[in-house]
Chain A
Amino acid sequence: GEKVEQHESTLSVREGDSAVINCTYTDTASSYFPWYKQEAGKGLHFVIDIRSNVDRKQSQRLIVLLDKKAKRFSLHITATQPEDSAIYFCAVNVGDNSKLIWGLGTSLVVNP
């Protein structure tokens, strides 16, 4: 079945630097690629998504890139701040769009 691999389990950056988290997927039919953030002891919160009809999307300091040929998408957080520290999950839709397959998460630590 469809798999999503989130390549970095942990990532540590200095405040102000950029952070990049990479995910790869297996199903060429996937068309929706969201990212979620989870702070300690909390639920997940949507941060940004991208659909297969574009290859780049930006929302303030967040950029998502999609490479359909490589079946890879990435989250770029620019000018990181300590409050960006959290676990970030990528996901990919399968079958009907309401079902998502999730990566295992990347724990991002932004050091002041």
Chain B
Amino acid sequence: DMKVTQMPRYLIKRMGENVLLECGQDMSHETMYWYRQDPGLGLQLIYISYDVDSNSEGDIPKGYRVSRKKREHFSLILDSAKTNQTSVYFCASSLGNSGNTLYFGEGSRLIVV
């Protein structure tokens, strides 16, 4: 069905709490991404995963970690959330890693208070 699904869509957490954002795709895409989107900063790459257990830091990995144990699932974990991690997080997937189309989820809005 060519879909990227993100859960949860909205989340409010207290500073210091752990956050788990989950992403699934049904296209058997090898490559998956986590981005955050902030006004005035555009899209920033947090992590990229080239396949199961093959993850690489993006441009802003500090404060985040990821897990990819199955090709169709890619999780973003915030251990001890900070207020500056309030953002909209987007997961995306693509076939291979050679400049192919990215398919995005609908986003997860995280507010850290």
Contacts and interface: CB of A to CB of B under 8 A. Distances in A.
Given A102-B42, A104-B40, A46 B99 contact: no
A49 B100 CA distance: 10
Given A102-B42, A103-B42, A43 B105 contact: yes
A75 to B, nearest CB: 16
Interface string A48-87: 0101000000000000000000000000000000000000
B80 interface: no
A102 B43 contact: yes
Interface residues of A, number: 23
- On chain B, which size bracket covers the interface? 20 to 34
Interface in B28-50: 31, 40-43, 45, 48, 50
Contact of A99 (B40, B48, B101, B104): B48
Nearest to A49: B101
Main secondary structure, interface of A, reads strand
Contacts of A98: 31, 48, 50, 94, 96-99
Contacts of B90: 43-44
Given A42-B106, A44-B104, A97 B98 contact: yes
Interface string B70-112: 0000000000000000000010101011110111111100000
A22 interface: no
Contacts of A96: 97
24 contacts: A31-B99, A34-B101, A36-B102, A36-B104, A41-B106, A41-B107, A43-B90, A43-B105, A43-B106, A44-B43, A44-B90, A44-B92, A44-B102, A45-B104, A46-B102, A97-B98, A98-B31, A98-B50, A98-B96, A98-B97, A99-B45, A100-B45, A104-B40, A104-B41
Given A34-B101, A43-B4, A97-B99, 10 more contacts: A32-B99, A43-B90, A43-B92, A43-B105, A46-B101, A93-B99, A96-B97, A98-B96, A99-B45, A99-B58
Q: 9 closest pairs, A vs B, by CB?
A: A43-B104, A98-B97, A97-B99, A32-B99, A102-B43, A104-B42, A44-B104, A46-B101, A43-B106
